[in-house]
Amino acid sequence: MTFSDHPIETPVRPGSPVHGFGTLAVHAGSPHDPSTGAVIEPISLSTTFAQRAVGEPVGAFEYSRSSNPNRENFEKAVAALEHAKYALAFSSGSATTAVILQSLAAGSHVISISDVYGGTHRYFTQVAKAHGVKVTFTPEIESDIVRQITPDTKLVWIETPSNPTLRLVDIRAVATQAHQHGILVVVDNTFLSPYVQNPLDHGADIVVHSVTKYINGHSDVVMGVAAFNSDEMKQRLSFLQNAIGAVPSAFDSWLAHRGLKTLHLRAREASTNATVVAAALEASPHVIAVNYPGAESHPHREIAKKQHRNGMGGGMLSFRIKGGKSAAEKFCQATTIYTLAESLGGVESLVEVPSSMTHAGIPKDQREAVGVFDDLVRLSCGVEDAQDLKNDVLQALEKAVVWPKITNGLNGISGPA
Ligand SMILES: Cc1ncc(COP(=O)(O)O)c(C=O)c1O
């Protein structure tokens, strides 16, 4: 038997994939083209599909906004990797968030962790309330959830790890409490990818991703996805996917599916690299603190060991640099391999200052309450060589922290630009 005879679809039952992650990543949702035998699926650009008679399409498709072969194959692959029955793809991670929030009735209440991604915070505070959904934020959701619940609470929104402080949430602890009140739990799994963490296995009801990040992995597609097990949710969210129309193109679906096939290789390498870089930062006298869930020093390390594959830390980390905002900015300009840019999860390493970039929209007092200070630098470790990334970070620290001090102390003597 070969995969071409029996293409791997979703797992036999949710939560019990019959194949390992790498095998599913390569083969799930990837049938060989029955007419040509093409091993890689063709890109199906047609917006519409012929019908034999009125209401009798030739195949499974009618119109590309409603469904498309490339989108459907990608959705099957993500469902398999997230141990879900269903997945639905959207035009961005933000569109995925919007559709889930719009699935709630007016008057609904949502509880979110405080340090959510800035765009999610913007949607929660500036858009959701326009259609009557109220969101409250809490920094300690495991202990605070019961106090936050009201009769209108319908959803809990978690990011674990959170962006950019890499705090972890015990999904099982939150889901157990939420389910006692009939509340659904959504986990944004963007920072780890399905390779490192499968939130549905820990009790979440919906897992969402900005596919733009690790799942696509090559910084050339903006896309989102939600995966879940409930048939009722499938009906509701598919309806909104079609009615709102925030769907990815066939080409983007094809590219993201191609990226997904190497997710396990990229996620492993990125995690190894981040571990090396985090250790180098922790040992540096120029660093105040490092946030990395793979480090034994991380306050939620025990959650990482329970929730992450082999206790891996993932490819993301952040750290506070000595010298404040100006040192943070100098650091980002001094790196030569890490590129100063927003986003994360690509094969190339990126660096940014969240307080002035990705999280600039969150008021300063709220930011700082959850640890997003002006001196916080966020690193997305790519798949370059660990030693090169470590050397890059160490030389940038010298330029950002040490040489400016020498310049200040000794008039006329300056370090390199
Ligand atoms: C954790 C997280 N969730 C959601 C999003 C939004 O995704 P997108 O940019 O694809 O809309 C991002 C974007 O950076 C993110 O970091």
Q: How far, in Å, from the CA of 94 to the mean position of ligand 1?
A: 6
At the topology level of CATH, where does 21-260 sit? Aspartate Aminotransferase; domain 2 (3.40.640)
Q: How far, in Å, from the CA of 62 to the mean position of ligand 1?
A: 30
pLDDT of the residue at 69: 97
Check if 117 is active-site.
yes
Beta bridge partners of 209: 225
| Predicted confidence (pLDDT) per residue in 86-141, tens digit | 999 999 999 999 999 999 999 999 999 988 888 999 999 999 999 899 999 999 99
pLDDT of the residue at 402: 82
Q: How far, in Å, from the CA of 120 to the mean position of ligand 1?
A: 8
pLDDT of the residue at 1: 32
Which atom of ligand 1 is the closest one to the Cα of 224?
Answer: 10
Separation between Cα atoms, residue 280 and residue 301, nearest integer Å:
18
Q: How far, in Å, from the CA of 225 to the mean position of ligand 1?
A: 11
Q: How far, in Å, from the CA of 190 to the mean position of ligand 1?
A: 7
* Helices 171-180 + 141-148 axis angle, to 10: 10
Query: Which residue has the least CA distance to atom 12 on ligand 1?
Result: 210
Catalytic-labelled residue, pool 115, 188, 252, 374: 188
DSSP 128: G
Choosing from 210, 252, 343, 352 the residue with most ligand 1 atoms within 8 A of its CB, the one to mutate for a pocket test is 210
pLDDT of the residue at 14: 44
Query: Which residue has the least CA distance to atom 6 on ligand 1?
Result: 93
CATH 3.90.1150.10 range(s) for the chain read 264-409
Which atom of ligand 1 is the closest one to the Cα of 97?
Answer: 4
Burial of 290: CB neighbours in 10 Å, binned 0-12, 13-18, 19+: buried
Which atom of ligand 1 is the closest one to the Cα of 342?
Answer: 14
CATH 3.40.640.10 range(s) for the chain read 21-260
Which atom of ligand 1 is the closest one to the Cα of 223?
Answer: 10
Which atom of ligand 1 is the closest one to the Cα of 190?
Answer: 1
Check if 65 is active-site.
yes
Which protein residues are within 6 Å of ligand 1, measured from CB? 92-94, 117, 119-120, 159, 163, 188, 190-191, 210, 212, 222, 224
Q: Both tokens of residue 345? A: 């999860």
| Predicted confidence (pLDDT) per residue in 217-243, tens digit | 999 999 999 999 999 999 999 999 999
Catalytic-labelled residue, pool 71, 85, 86, 117: 117
Q: Which of 224, 184, 225, 188 is nearest to 205 (CA)?
A: 184
Which atom of ligand 1 is the closest one to the Cα of 191?
Answer: 1
pLDDT of the residue at 360: 85
Q: How far, in Å, from the CA of 202 to the mean position of ligand 1?
A: 22
pLDDT of the residue at 203: 98
Q: Both tokens of residue 179? A: 């389910």
pLDDT of the residue at 268: 98
Judge whether 188 and 159 are in contact, CB under 8 Å: yes
Q: How far, in Å, from the CA of 106 to the mean position of ligand 1?
A: 25
Residue written as token pair 């300056």: 414
Q: Average pLDDT by consecutive 10-residue portion of the chain (417 residues)?
A: 41 58 96 92 96 95 97 98 98 98 98 91 94 94 95 98 95 98 98 98 98 98 98 98 98 98 98 98 98 97 98 98 97 98 97 91 86 96 98 98 66 37
Q: For all residues of the chain together, what is the average pLDDT?
A: 92
Beta bridge partners of 56: 53
Query: Which residue has the least CA distance to atom 8 on ligand 1?
Result: 93
Judge whether 349 and 276 are in contact, CB under 8 Å: no
Judge whether 346 and 380 are in contact, CB under 8 Å: yes
Separation between Cα atoms, residue 248 and residue 225, nearest integer Å:
10
pLDDT of the residue at 403: 79
CB atoms within 10 A of CB 132: 11
Query: Which residue has the least CA distance to atom 15 on ligand 1?
Result: 117
Tell me the CATH number for domain 264-409. Answer: 3.90.1150.10
Separation between Cα atoms, residue 119 and residue 117, nearest integer Å:
6
| Predicted confidence (pLDDT) per residue in 336-365, tens digit | 999 999 999 999 999 999 999 988 878 899
Q: Both tokens of residue 412? A: 């006329």
Choosing from 90, 163, 379 the residue with most ligand 1 atoms within 8 A of its CB, the one to mutate for a pocket test is 163
DSSP 342: S
Separation between Cα atoms, residue 371 and residue 352, nearest integer Å:
15
